[in-house]
Structure 1
Amino acid sequence: MSLDKKTVARIAHLARIKVPEEDLEPLAGELNNILGFIEQLNEVDTDGVDPLASVVEMNMRQREDAVTDGGYPDRVLANGPETAMGFYTVPKVVE
């Protein structure tokens, strides 16, 4: 795939990026180089390769899922300007 000046100008417009006319040609060349590299990556055979988050195998540390504080609804609700029946009350925004 090859990008020309017109296509680069359209991409810049869609991205809301102001690109001067004299910079369109060099930018087209850079984008073509990037697309060429992506095409090379698409040719790599990745069958049988598991997706990785890291190249180093790691075990995530896990903690016990326990409530360490809480059970104070009255203290929490005291932070709001108005409450009713254990909930914050807010102004209606949808008619």
Structure 2
Amino acid sequence: MLHLKSEHLYINHQLVEQVFSNVEYVYAAYNTEQKQLLITPITSQWFVKMNKKPSQFLLKSRNLIGDKTVAIREILIDNDLPIHDRDLDYELIEKTELLKIRL
């Protein structure tokens, strides 16, 4: 349901509906200790308080069924992470609408 392709995070429409619904922007922060990318809707004010300077990213529509992408190039480069295309493991925390993605 999550893929890295051309430095973009591809999110399946089912996961988009479950976590982001109609939100157009997300907050993202890379946790170096856990080696996880954390992503949540921009409506999650708690995320700003818990993470120092989270970045805002546009959640772009990719097709008519509702798949979306997030351009995460700067996160990959800033944290010296591999940029090759691949499927990604993730954990969804439904209560806080948080995706923890292992990069």
Where on the TM-score scale, by shorter chain, does this alignment land: which range? under 0.3
Which one has a larger percent strand, Structure 1 or Structure 2?
Answer: 2
Which one has more relative contact order, counting CA pairs under 8 Å at least 6 apart?
2
TM-score, normalised to structure 1, is: 0.25
Which one has a larger percent helix, Structure 1 or Structure 2?
Answer: 1
TM-score, normalised to structure 2, is: 0.24
